[in-house]
């Protein structure tokens, strides 16, 4: 990566950072969902397990806030992970309305595998540029995210469900 001179690519859209970010972001999300699918997980599951690994015993409402989703959606996420025996709903010690969500041993194993998948995805996405450029790119993106006011670790929308029965035509 040294050619920073403005090249006249065909499409006018392809020269805008806003479009490129949106395009690459959609690709990244979709690709990650595909890689996660063999583990029986969707990005939301991964996000929830990651959040839990940084602090178990949180209420569903707190987790929903941390992930930027509605508590109604969190119910489904927790249901699915609980059905698979990856998390447990326990009594909240301080609030009898709330549940305290905890990880099981199985979840720690699966999270490890999922993180390796995420590492592979990251590596494949950045395969085209060198080490220095990767570091600089990440710094730039972090800077943009902070300046735009995007909460750290919160991902809007984009489920891109590759697990469903019908949309398995990719």
Partner DNA sequence: TATTGTTATACTCTATAACTATA
Partner DNA sequence: TATAGTTATAGAGTATAACAATA
3-state SS track over 3-17: CCCCCCCCCCHHHCH
Question: With binding defined as CB under 7 A, does residue 78 bind DNA?
Answer: yes
Find the binder of a copy of itself among 95, 109, 112, 140 (CB under 8 A).
Answer: 140
Question: With binding defined as CB under 7 A, does residue 91 bind DNA?
Answer: no
Which of DNA, a copy of itself, none does residue 114 bind (CB under 5 to 8 Å by kind)? none
Site for a copy of itself in 9-28 (CB under 8 A): 9-28
Site for DNA in 97-126 (CB under 7 A): 97-99
Question: With binding defined as CB under 7 A, does residue 23 bind DNA?
Answer: no
| Binding-site string for a copy of itself from residue 88 to residue 117, where x marks contact by CB under 8 A and - marks none | ------------------------------
- SS3 of residue 88 by DSSP: strand
Report how far residue 118's alpha carbon sits from residue 123's, in angstroms, rounded to the nearest whole number.
9
Give the number of other CB atoms < 10 A from CB of residue 51: 19
Report how far residue 138's alpha carbon sits from residue 145's, in angstroms, rounded to the nearest whole number.
10
Positive or negative, the CA dihedral 54, 57, 60, 62 is negative
- Contact assessment for residue 135 and residue 142, using Cβ atoms and an 8 Å cutoff: no
Where on the chain is the footprint of a copy of itself (CB under 8 A)?
1, 3-4, 6-7, 9-30, 32, 47, 50, 54, 118, 121-122, 125-129, 133-148, 150, 152-158, 160
């Amino acid at each position: 990566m040294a050619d920073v001179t403005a090249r006249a690519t065909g499409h006018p859209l392809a020269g805008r950072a806003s479009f490129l970010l949106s395009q690459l972001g959609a690709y990244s999300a979709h690709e990650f969902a595909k890689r996660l699918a063999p583990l029986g997980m969707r990005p939301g599951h991964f996000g929830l397990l990651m959040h839990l690994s940084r602090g178990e015993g949180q209420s569903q409402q707190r987790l929903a806030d941390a992930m930027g989703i509605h508590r109604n959606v969190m119910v489904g996420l927790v249901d699915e992970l609980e059905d698979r025996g990856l998390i447990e709903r326990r009594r909240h010690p301080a609030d009898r309305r709330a549940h305290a969500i905890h990880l099981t041993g199985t979840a720690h194993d699966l999270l490890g595998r999922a993180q390796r998948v995420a590492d592979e995805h990251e590596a494949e996405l950045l395969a085209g540029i060198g080490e220095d450029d990767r570091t600089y790119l990440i710094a730039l993106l972090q800077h943009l995210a902070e300046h735009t006011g995007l909460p750290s670790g919160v991902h809007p929308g984009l489920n891109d469900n590759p697990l469903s029965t019908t949309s398995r035509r990719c």
